[in-house]
Structure 1
Amino acid sequence: MNMLFRYLLSLTLVGAALLANVRAQSPALLTKLQQREFHVAAHRGAHMDYPENSLESLKEAINLGASIVEVDVRATKDGVLLLMHDNTVDRTTTGTGKISELTYAEVKALYLREQPHGKASVHHVPTLEEALSVCKGKIIVDLDFKEENEVYVRPTLELVQKMGMEDEVLFFLYDYKDMERVSRINPAITMFPRARSMKDIQKILKTKRTQIIHIDASFQDRAALLQLHAQGVFFWINSLGEVDEKAEVAGEAAYRDFLAAYPFVRIIQTDNPKLWNQTLITYKKQ
């Protein structure tokens, strides 16, 4: 038995064991994901049309047919959870200063900019609760917890529970080693970790805490990844940056090339959910 075969066999056994006995994730959320061959995740909402992380960008992502929306979570000086990617308000609002040094009242008085460093819009920075209310029953929410103070992880997950959205939320983790600690707060909320190697994937699956994994373009072991794909593992890959920019010029062809390069992908995060959804409609007809 050669080394490659042994490696593929080990991945197969790990994947089969995972699907047979997953300890912590939402079965209802998995059912939603299984209903589509591909999922489009709108990065910071539909921010090509509305300010990023605004309520309108979330509503537009829903209107465009995205099935997941990614939002960034931070906390104000007085502990209010809101949507903001940066640790300052400088780039996306009419104000200046660190979120952690501003009160909610101060942030609420600001206006979001139409584009980074652009002119002011009529929209304000939403709270996480407001954002979840807009999305409830309409779209899966990927919470990208950007807040440096980890004490706010618990109130974030408690808010999800309070709003009855445990079956509608993914909680993204930059380090899969945090899964155990975060899952103790509420094991019903689906952890969504990033893997940086095939070994990371094995370790994530062995935890039996999730089958939704963020990978990137460096993953090229097609045979192993396709096996796990067939066993129900959901691989998330970003088309942000170069691929999305290429699609602005080449149109749907750029996204079809992306699907050909990563046949194991199930979830695609993009800055252009409208074009991705159009591509997937024609792609399925082929």
Structure 2
Amino acid sequence: MTYIFAHRGASKYAPENTMSAFKKALEMKADGIELDVQLTKDKIPVIIHDETVKRTTDGKGFVSEFTYNQLQNLDAGKWFSKQFSGERIPTLEEFLIWMKQTKLLLNIELKNTIMPYYGMERIVYELVDRHKLKDRVIYSSFNHYSLQELKQIDQKVEIAPLYSSGLYEPWNYVKSLSTDCVHPHWRTLHPAILKGFRDHDIKVRVYTVNDPKKVKWLCDQKVEAIITDVPDTTRAVADGSLLVKPTVIGNVFHKINPKSYF
């Protein structure tokens, strides 16, 4: 079974990283939600992708320069559609309270590669722990030092390094981080790379895949999960109700000969 994670919620149908997008993803039978967390000036974890509020709200400035109360004055929906005017940037706690009423899994991406957000790992971890959701949460980040910080807090947390480049034998690197999970960009994959992950018992959750033909191929490869903007279409492909011919991905590695590589 390949799990379907809604990327920033059902972000093709509702403004990303809002409660409307998360609720829509649940309606579309996603197995999990992928969302992005940053910290406000007063250290409140909030759900927003960019380091600034400009693209997805009617405000300007860095998230870290706003207090939580100030952020609540911004509209996070009308940039997407007038239908969503009045949507607010949710807090992580608001989401967790809602999530507890569902069976959803959660992938929290810590957005701390540009803004360091000192102490973010413990703040987020303790919030998840307080709501007794540790067993349903996966932490990912492009900041792999941050993932190791989480491991120091709790060796049992599930971490998954994000990457988008052509890593050499990435399974060895993943193992060096004391985890068996990885979240690669779909362009970095190739049958030989996926075979390496399988041979080393590493769970692969691929981002961000919207093309049904690519989804089909990845499902055939039995990846752990697909992170997608269109959970409804991706679900239909995964359960066989939408029939498509698979397309092999990973042209970045077209020169690799699997027979000689292993």
TM-score by length of 1: 0.73
Write out per-residue CA displacement over residues 83-132 of structure 1, whole angstroms, 9 at most, x where no aligned residue.
1111122211122222111111111122212445x546132111110011
Identify the residue that residue 183 of structure 1 maps to in structure 2: 151
- Segments of 4+ in structure 1 off by > 6 A? 283-286
- 1:78 and 1:66 map into 2 onto residues whose CA distance is 32
Asked if 1:192 corresponds to 2:160, the answer is: yes
Task: Give the deviation of 1:285 after TM superposition.
Answer: 8.9
CA contact (8 A) 1:176 1:204 kept: no
- 1:174 and 1:99 map into 2 onto residues whose CA distance is 19
Asked if 1:236 corresponds to 2:211, the answer is: no
Amino acid at match of 2:132: G
* Structure with higher helix content: 1
The share of aligned pairs that are identical, in percent, is: 25
Aligned CA-pair RMSD: 2.6
Asked if 1:68 corresponds to 2:32, the answer is: yes
- 2:139 and 2:213 map into 1 onto residues whose CA distance is 32
Identify the residue that residue 225 of structure 2 maps to in structure 1: 267
Task: Give the deviation of 1:212 after TM superposition.
Answer: 1.3
Asked if 1:219 corresponds to 2:189, the answer is: yes
Q: Quick one: structure 1 residues 79 and 180, their matched pair in 2 at CA, closer, same or farther if it must change by over 3 Å?
A: closer
Task: Give the deviation of 1:65 after TM superposition.
Answer: 1.2
Identify the residue that residue 162 of structure 1 maps to in structure 2: 130
Asked if 1:210 corresponds to 2:179, the answer is: yes
Identify the residue that residue 215 of structure 2 maps to in structure 1: 255
Amino acid at match of 1:278: A
- 1:104 and 1:139 map into 2 onto residues whose CA distance is 26
CA contact (8 A) 2:77 2:85 kept: yes
- 1:48 and 1:155 map into 2 onto residues whose CA distance is 30
Aligned residues: 236
Q: Quick one: structure 1 residues 226 and 114, their matched pair in 2 at CA, closer, same or farther if it must change by over 3 Å?
A: farther
Matches within 5 A, 1:4-83: 37-83=1-47
Q: Quick one: structure 1 residues 175 and 199, their matched pair in 2 at CA, closer, same or farther if it must change by over 3 Å?
A: farther
Q: Secondary structure at the match of 2:52?
A: coil
Q: Which ranges in structure 2 are unaligned for 5 or more consecutive residues?
A: 245-262
Q: Secondary structure at the match of 1:79?
A: coil
- CA radius of gyration, larger in: 1
Identify the residue that residue 85 of structure 1 maps to in structure 2: 49
Q: Which ranges in structure 1 are unaligned for 5 or more consecutive residues?
A: 1-36
Q: Secondary structure at the match of 1:265?
A: coil
Task: Give the deviation of 1:269 after TM superposition.
Answer: 1.0
CA contact (8 A) 1:62 1:138 kept: no
Match of 1:96 among 60, 63, 69: 60
Identify the residue that residue 277 of structure 1 maps to in structure 2: 235
Q: Quick one: structure 1 residues 214 and 125, their matched pair in 2 at CA, closer, same or farther if it must change by over 3 Å?
A: same
Task: Give the deviation of 1:193 after TM superposition.
Answer: 1.1
Q: Secondary structure at the match of 2:224?
A: strand
TM-score by length of 2: 0.79
